[in-house]
Amino acid sequence: MSDRGAKHILDAGVLAIAGAVRSGQATAVSVVEEALERVAAADGRLHCFNCLTAESALEAAEKIDESVRRGLDPGPLAGVPVALKDNLCTRGVPTTCSSKILDGWRPPYDATVVVRLREAGAVSVGKTNLDEFAMGSSTENSATGPTHNPWNLARVPGGSSGGSAAAVAAGLVAASLGSDTGGSIRQPASLCGVVGIKPTYGLVSRYGLIAFASSLDQVGTFAPTVGDAAAALQAIAGHDPADSTSIARPAPELMHGLDHGVGGLRVGLISDFLAEVSEPCAAAAADAAEALSLAGAAVEEVSIPEMLLGLPAYYIIAPAEASSNLARYDGVRYGLRVDGPDVETMNARTRAQGFGPEVRRRIMVGTYALSSGYYDAYYAQAQKARTLVIAAFARAYERFDVLLAPTTPSAAFALGSKTSDPLEMYLSDLCTIPSNLSGHPAVSVPFALDPDGLPVGVQVLAPALAEDVMLRAAAFIEAVAPASARGPVRPGQVAQRD
């Protein structure tokens, strides 16, 4: 990489890019220019981005190069182009949650994770598309239109962080941030053939993350490899006094031990999901378990039937929290305002025009579940089910260091195929929701291709703050998986993969 303007350095990955920029082998400007060129060439077909910040990205890259010239250390992610899910506040940059109700809103502050990425030397090139207010599993519930899967433009990228996952899968950026409330990082990571990490609840600050369901939301990372996703997570993790739910202790070391193997690791393959997912997804999890066993891990199937309570519990708890969080969008303080003869009419018109159908559906479900006469029958019961899930995890982790499961019930499905059936769409989160209810970390790793040539991910789950062990298992699974099962995939190659 002797050419300081070398093309295709973006394909080298997070750690290699940062190393090249810090050593002077490549310039941050050249890397960011390459990312912007790729976005310009491909995003018209993919729609990963809601807005680009090209000018500020190039200015930030020039400052990094100046630091290198002066002999200063610009940070562990020096010059790495990243993308930010458009529910993360960015000062002076539109932050819309892909909703009409926040169209054009420019926050007066940055989310903590945005600040930490910048301090680590990463360069944001733009804000990515998502299901409106992170409510969805396909990125079709967006006021700006759907994102397309780089592996097949007729398929969904997953959701709600579909734009962030697809941007990494298409090689437009080296890493990206998403949020995971019920699987919104891991599910699109699986469908797009990239790595997606949901960290322990409280490990990463939620300050500046626009809330969907506050007891479930967590910011995490996407990258083509486990090591690169871990490096990005390391940069944003750690205590933040601005977030009352932030864990008041130093972040664990995430990069150490990724290559230490899995000998002696106790792994439980959750059998309850295997009968609920497609054959390729079940086979991928079983094959990953076998590979772990052959490498010296102690692998055993384990039945945790409480995991299947997660889906119905989540779709009461999350809408209930959303109905409270989204009450602030009333046309008075910020965002869209549709005038009326009185305040009540103005509120109603603003929300009717500003929120899409899925958001309105969840607000109504949540309000109903919290209403007098129904609270005990629905919300209280859902919280009891959540407690059962947490207790079941605790028992399982007495026997196992990590758990293994499919990430999704299927590979990427066709655009429009589930939009008319919300319950069918909700089933996409079956395998991912339990970790949100418990607050535990989980990661999706690309592991196989289905008969249509679409990527299938395998999920590794771990106890709270056991990201180091989880990522060690994930790194091994990645090492034994076929390279063809993971991105980046150039949009021009899509036709060859249909």
Please list the active-site residues.
85, 160, 184
d(CA 163, CA 96): 14
* Angle CA 47–50–52, to nearest 5: 105
Centroid of chain to Cα 416: 22
Altogether, the residues listed in the chain come to a count of 498
Burial class (CB in 10 A: 0-12, 13-18, 19+), 435: buried
d(CA 442, CA 190): 12
Report residue 475 as tokens.
């790194």
Strand pairing category for 455-461 and 402-406: antiparallel
User: Three-state DSSP class for 437?
Assistant: helix
Q: Where are the alpha helices (H) located in 148-215, listed in sequence order?
A: 162-169, 186-192
